Chains A and B, each alone.
Chain A
Amino acid sequence: MKRFIGFFRELTHYRSAVLGILIIGSLLALALYAVVTLPYNEAIQRWRGGEEIWGDYPRNAMPQWVTIFTGNSMPTTIILNSRDEGSVYKESQVVSGDMSTADIIMPFEYTSAGFPSEINLFLEGKSIAKKPQATMLWKTPDGRQIPLGDTTVGTAERFAISIDQRLIRRLNGLSPEIGLFADPATLAPGAKPVPLPGRYQLVIEGLTFEDNSSLEAKLVVYGQVYGLAGTDHRRRDIMVALLWGTPIALSFGFLAAVGSTLTTFIIAAIGAWFGGWLDALIQRITEINAVLPTLPILILIGTFYTRNIWVILGVVIALGIFSLGIKTYRSMFLQVKEMPYIEAAHAYGASNLRIVFQYMMPKIAPVLIPSFVTLIPTFVFLEASLAVLGLGDPVLPTWGKVLNDAYSNGALYKGYYYWVIEPAVLLMLAGLGFAVVGFALDRIFNPRLREV
């Protein structure tokens, strides 16, 4: 313990190492936060659930904090639900017999200087034989009334206002999310349309034809910003993947590094101690392993067999066992093997395994630690590499998969920079954090480097 503290104190002499430790510490905290606040099942549900989970989120929205820099030009999402009594008015009157009106009035304030990204109206009708009918009318602050059309309402209808062709024709070819909000004065050819601020209303004139029939509506005026991290092309909250990517990346990197370095180390020690055919065999396997193309094999396994991240982890470790590191460790162990204290241990009858595990390995262990820490980012990036090639785990949300989604949907081309930068910065932080600490450790444990 004392040795550990002393060594830690030595590490803090390196300013870069302190920075690295801070980065690793905050990533660990983030990972812990992710696992505690967002349980695994819920995270998977929120990442893979479906439209009902993320249907109300805007598509490809930037993170909300960009409004600090852009001011009022990016609206947030406005949701109006007829089940919320406070903000939505409902009126119902019997017309004749079973037929009655079911009007819904949805007023809302729109103040942003930018247009919404999309408008959707979700209608739910309850009926047995005759479906209710709805006629939609849009009222602007300056008193214009724009008919949106009418429809019969099934149990769950989605009226995509933004892509309604008849409405677009009625608005002279403008997209509804612009046409419905634009100030008519700015619609002259060549001018840049600007939204008219004020109180808008969506009026739904409903008719029900049965006794227990009813009509509910939800209007979603999608904004351009969402949450801390924004959303992707499927409206998913990227924050889920960023949060859960942290424990996955850290554990993948850590386990792969531990698995491969430790086994390599043990095998090198055993080979060096026993020598003979065992040593020769280990050497030959190492050489064959060096010829095997690691990344193509991983891609093959990802494509042909499974993309499960833990299977891939196993293969990574298996391919890393007989890595070229064996040669380095072996030459060190060969030197240790000749040391007098080993000879003494042999003389008083210590067993082979005792000598290997208790006397030889602790001697070289310090060399292992820096190389182990510097290996972690390699594996973190390996997972991301596979994900970028489309071979990420099919279930888990990871940083690499966000990057892959962004890349395959042309995020860089279309200007969705946040989508690429967020996972990339996290990956970079993880990589640099461990690398910086590894470098400092290397200088502490290999004093020969310290002098130069």
Chain B
Amino acid sequence: MATETLAKRQWALPRIGIRVPDTLTRVVKYTLYRGVALFVTVVIGVYLTVLIANMGGYLDIIRMAQIREQAGAVVLNDPQLQALPPSELRRRIDEIAQIEMKRLRLDQPFALRSINYLTDALTLNLGRAEHLTSDSGSRQVRLVLLERMPATLVLSATANLSLFFTAIFAALFLSRRYGSLLDRIVIAMAPSSSVPAWFYGIFLILIFASVLRVLPFGGMIGTPVPESTPAYAASLLRHMLLPVVAIILHGIFIGIYNWRTFFLIYSSEDYVEMAKAKGLTSRTIERRYILRPTLPPIVTSFAFTLIYLWQGAIILETVFAWPGLGRLLYQAISIFDVPVIVGNVVLIAYLLVTSVFLLDIIYALLDPRVKVGGEKRS
């Protein structure tokens, strides 16, 4: 549809002799196209989540039964109404239940309601949690989520940024001396990354918390919460050390291995040989002839590291009792708190799609070969 017309126009332009659009229009067009495509993707993805999280409407039936029961309790426990005949009591119960259901829009068919849920979710009108509260006692899903976000971000940012840059620089280092003992060790260790981070986490807790008793079992801040800022930071660091090490252990060897292989493939290209023959220094060769063409994949991988963490964090945070978004999602699911589940998933979907979107723009800026139409990269 839109894909093809845009793509055709893009291809057709040079052929009829009009000047090839400059980088700006190219990027804007591409951005618009990707924006629309990604938005549609998010809508469908979130709608599916809404459907699953509401059990296709089944959860609402449970909720309706709850409302009716509560209404019954209210009417039957009212001493002033005791004298009324049963039929009148039943009528009153129905009446109260009807009002409550109308308030919660439960009187509409589920198909319609699911659309309401979808639009609410997409406009980030996340509503009120059913059971969970924020530390300040608020039921607003937005506040509950916002409160947990810094915890996740501080952990993921620390772990992933250090992981990413260590891997890249270590790989560059190894690609210069491949075949060395260090290189062979890294290759041999690469399969260890098939073990997830939370799993390393359990071992780390076992060693450093249970046996050696030097680091805490979990949590984010010691009790009582330290008052001075340096003490707070120290406590945070102590609690963060094990989860961060777990994430790094999980990713470091495969990271170095992949990048090393990648750099080696690029450094055997003809133009690198040419540069070497010209007598350029190895630093210059590295910067200009190896790093530059490999930049787009590096950026992609960087974005995907960030995206991946949102998923992996659920179990890692649960294992380390880290009060982040992942653990919140798990808690919400285990007590059927649908607004929080949907809110959490919407947040992650938006974050994910924004990352992809930004990535696409950066890609279009970095790589002049990227054409509108996504996969038609040459």
Chain A interfacial positions (CB closer than 8 Å to B): 16, 20, 280, 283-284, 287-288, 290-297, 299-301, 303-305, 327, 374, 377-378, 381, 384-385, 388-390, 403, 407, 412-413, 415, 417, 420-421, 424, 427-428, 431-432, 434-436, 438-439, 448-449, 451-452
Contacts and interface: CB of A to CB of B under 8 A. Distances in A.
Interface string B169-213: 000000000100000000010111111101100110110011100
Given A283-B375, A291-B353, A452-B261, A415 B210 contact: yes
Given A303-B336, A385-B315, A420-B206, 8 more contacts: A287-B38, A291-B45, A295-B311, A389-B318, A390-B334, A407-B319, A432-B195, A438-B191
A428 B192 CA distance: 9
A291 B352 CA distance: 7
B178 A291 contact: no
Nearest to A412: B210
Interface of B: 3, 37-38, 41-42, 44-45, 48-49, 52-53, 55, 59, 178, 188, 190-196, 198-199, 202-203, 205-206, 209-211, 217, 260-261, 264-265, 268, 310-311, 314-315, 318-319, 329-330, 333-334, 336, 341, 344-345, 348-349, 352-353, 374-375
A427 B203 CA distance: 12
A435 B194 contact: yes
A427 B194 CA distance: 11
A435 B253 CA distance: 13
A284 B44 CA distance: 11
B208 to A, nearest CB: 11
A388 B198 contact: yes
B194 A378 contact: yes
10 contacts: A287-B41, A291-B45, A292-B49, A293-B348, A296-B49, A296-B329, A385-B315, A389-B314, A432-B191, A436-B191
Nearest to A305: B55
Nearest to B4: A280
A287 B44 CA distance: 10
Contacts of B310: 293
Nearest to A331: B375
A412 B206 contact: yes
- The interface centre, meaning the residue of B268, B334, B344 with most chain A CB atoms within 10 A of its CB, is B334
B202 A288 contact: no
Nearest to A381: B196
Q: Which 10 A-B pairs have the closest CB atoms?
A: A435-B191, A435-B194, A291-B45, A452-B264, A377-B194, A412-B210, A436-B191, A431-B194, A303-B333, A288-B44
A390 B314 CA distance: 13
Q: Which of A290, A389, A415, A452 has the most CB of B within 10 A?
A: A452
A22 B188 CA distance: 16
B333 A300 contact: yes
B341 A296 contact: yes
A452 B268 contact: yes
A293 B268 contact: no
Contacts of B205: 412
B199 A424 contact: yes
A288 B333 contact: no
A376 to B, nearest CB: 9
Contacts of A294: 311
B178 A452 contact: yes
A16 B188 contact: yes
Contact of B210 (A377, A390, A417, A434): A417
Most chain B CB within a 10 A radius of its CB, from A16, A292, A294, A432:
A292
Contacts of B330: 299, 389
Given A303-B334, A381-B196, A435-B191, A291 B52 contact: no
Contacts of B203: 424
Nearest to B45: A291
A416 B202 CA distance: 13
Contact of A287 (B37, B188, B198): B37
B372 to A, nearest CB: 15
B191 to A, nearest CB: 3
